[in-house]
Amino acid sequence: MSDLNDLYQETIIDHSKRPRNKGEVEQATHSAEGYNPLCGDRVQVQLKIENGHILGIGFRGAGCAISTASASLMTEAMKGKTPEEVEIAFRKFRDLLTEDQAPAPDLGKLAVFSGVREYPMRVKCATLAWHTLRAALRGDPQAVSTE
């Protein structure tokens, strides 16, 4: 039986209580909204992209501890990255949540979400911000839904 502490690791609790990069991004060039119909949570991700790199990244909204912490840690990890690097990181992150294998070694802090794998109903909470970030990069104005 997996312990709740495996899900709610300290870093997750910390980021859910004190989310980083929460708020408006000045002179944002990209933005998108995401929605999780299961719990009604909404998140908006804003980006400022220059020369193909994410210079500014911020989010608003979210909701549960998992989705808020995920948005917070994602924004920290993706600052300075290119869209291609975001895509690679997203795939590794998704595999961490859904695949029964050792996490990619270069996930860094994002590996704290490994416990989510034991809670299939919560995977969408962890991926909401990521789907929204990818929609913003695609220039997709429609709200993305995790369903």
Partner 1 sequence: MSAHAEVLKDSRAATAFNVDRIREDFPILREKVHGKPLVYLDNAATSQKPKAVIDSLVDYYTHYNANVHRAVHLLSTRATAACDDSREKVRRFINAGSTNEIVFVRGTTEGLNLVAQTHGRQNIGPGDEVLISGLEHHSNIVPWQILCEEKQARLRVVHIDDRGVVPLDEFEKALHERTRLVAISHVSNALGTVNPLADMIKMAHRWNAPVVVDGAQAAPHMHVDVRALDADFYAFSGHKLFGPTGIGVLYGKEALFNAMPPFQGGGDMIRSVTFEKTTYNDLPYKFEAGTPDIAGIIGIGAAIDYVNDVGMDAIAAYEQELLEYATDAVSQLEGVRIIGTAPNKASVISFVVDNAHPHDVGTVLDREGIAVRTGHHCAQPVMDRFGIAATTRASLAFYNTREEVDALIAGIRRVQEFFS
Distance in Å, CB of 4 to partner 1, minimum? 5
Rounded Cα–Cα distance for residues 39 and 2 (Å): 23
Distance in Å, CB of 70 to partner 1, minimum? 12
Nearer to partner 1, 62 or 78 (CB): 62
**Under a CB-based contact definition with an 8 Å cutoff, are residues 114 and 123 in contact?**
no
Phi/psi at 114 (nearest 5 deg)?
-60, -30
According to DSSP H, which parts of 3-139 are helical? 4-7, 10-17, 65-78, 83-98, 123-138
Nearer to partner 1, 22 or 79 (CB): 22
Q: Which residues bind partner 1 (CB under 8 A)?
A: 1, 4, 7-8, 13, 16-17, 38-42, 63-66, 68, 119, 121-122, 125
Distance in Å, CB of 79 to partner 1, minimum? 26
Nearer to partner 1, 33 or 41 (CB): 41
For residue 119, what are its two tokens?
A: 């809670």
Rounded Cα–Cα distance for residues 128 and 73 (Å): 13
Nearer to partner 1, 54 or 70 (CB): 70
Distance in Å, CB of 139 to partner 1, minimum? 27
